Amino acid sequence: MTATLQSASAEREPVLRLRGISKNFGAVSALTDIELDVNPGEVVALVGDNGAGKSTLVKVLAGVHQPSAGSIEFCGKPVSLDNPAKALELGIATVFQDLALCENLDVVANLFLGHELTPWALDEVAMEVRAWTLLRELAARIPSVREPVASLSGGQRQTVAIARSLLLDPKVIMLDEPTAALGVAQTAEVLNLIERVRERGLGVIIISHNMEDVRAVADRIVVLRLGRNNGVFLPDSSSQELVSAITGATDNSVSRRLERKAGHAHDNNGGAP
Ligand SMILES: Nc1ncnc2c1ncn2[C@@H]1O[C@H](COP(=O)(O)OP(=O)(O)O)[C@@H](O)[C@H]1O
Ligand SMILES: [Mg+2]
């Protein structure tokens, strides 16, 4: 079943609104005219074949790449995500695939790396309490916060990386393939964690190749193909529908464009999409 590029619940202001985002690398058009809304408390899945532009889109929102065209609104205001620090400061956090954890440091040290609680001296006790509290809120299964990350499972590492981002109190979190390297049980753990993150009211963008995971966790599924929107689907869509849009067996870009025009016309009348 298809959905719209605009947010499902029109009464809520999207936390993130992308209009006409394009990104060229020299002659390569990695993204063309991307439109996307993300609501608070909504999980949007980005799916697409290799080279579809998923990582590029995430990097644009993370402030790593500057868009060649288009506009980004964050909490209703136009923003320019000039660099990763700026995106983070505004409240757009990214968990990249490599997770960037320090293997030899324990969970607490990894959670607070670079932003330690230091009223006068390193406040180990406060950091440990904060770590436990957050992990409990997330129903995370981490046996000890004094365990070095090297001894954790893939799912636990993903949990630590996500928790670390949450400590910065973002409004949007982007997860690049959070379940790619995980087995069934650990995948379920991470999907549960994403549910907890959604409940905290964050907008979540998740990249995944796994249609089962995507259907289990997403409110809307946005298909990218060759750098363009190729359909937006609800989680009750069949794998076949999704795969058709991903591979280009169905070209939804024309209907999407028409829908967008209709949406804009509506916007101009001051109405909800
Ligand atoms: N830094 C870059 N320089 C040049 N081309 C790039 C760069 N990053 C991505 N691309 C190109 O942009 C397109 C989209 O890539 P990417 O966003 O990585 O897709 P995905 O994450 O969906 O696999 C591909 O054609 C890729 O080769
Ligand atoms: Mg990628």
CB of 28 within 6 A of ligand 1: the answer is: yes
CB of 158 within 6 A of ligand 1: the answer is: no
- Domains recognised in the chain with CATH numbers: 16-101+170-268 (3.40.50.300)
Which residues keep their CB under 5 angstroms from ion ligand 2? 55
248: its two tokens: 């280009």
Burial class (CB in 10 A: 0-12, 13-18, 19+), 82: exposed
Specify the residue with its C-alpha closest to ligand 1, atom 13: 30
Residue with tokens 């928790």: 163
Please give the chain's pLDDT, 273 residues, in tens. 666 655 555 457 999 999 999 999 999 999 999 999 999 999 999 999 999 999 999 999 999 999 999 999 999 999 999 999 999 999 999 999 888 899 999 999 999 887 766 555 567 888 899 999 999 998 888 988 999 999 999 999 999 999 999 999 999 999 999 998 888 999 999 999 999 999 999 999 999 999 999 999 999 999 999 999 999 999 999 988 999 999 988 766 544 444 444 444 444 333 333
Rounded to the nearest angstrom, the distance between the alpha carbon of 25 and the centre of ligand 1 is 8
Specify the residue with its C-alpha closest to ligand 1, atom 4: 25
CB of 65 within 6 A of ligand 1: the answer is: no
pTM value is 0.87
Strands 172-176 and 92-95: parallel
The closest alpha carbon to 200, from 228, 169, 231, belongs to: 169
Specify the residue with its C-alpha closest to ligand 1, atom 12: 30
Specify the residue with its C-alpha closest to ligand 1, atom 3: 25
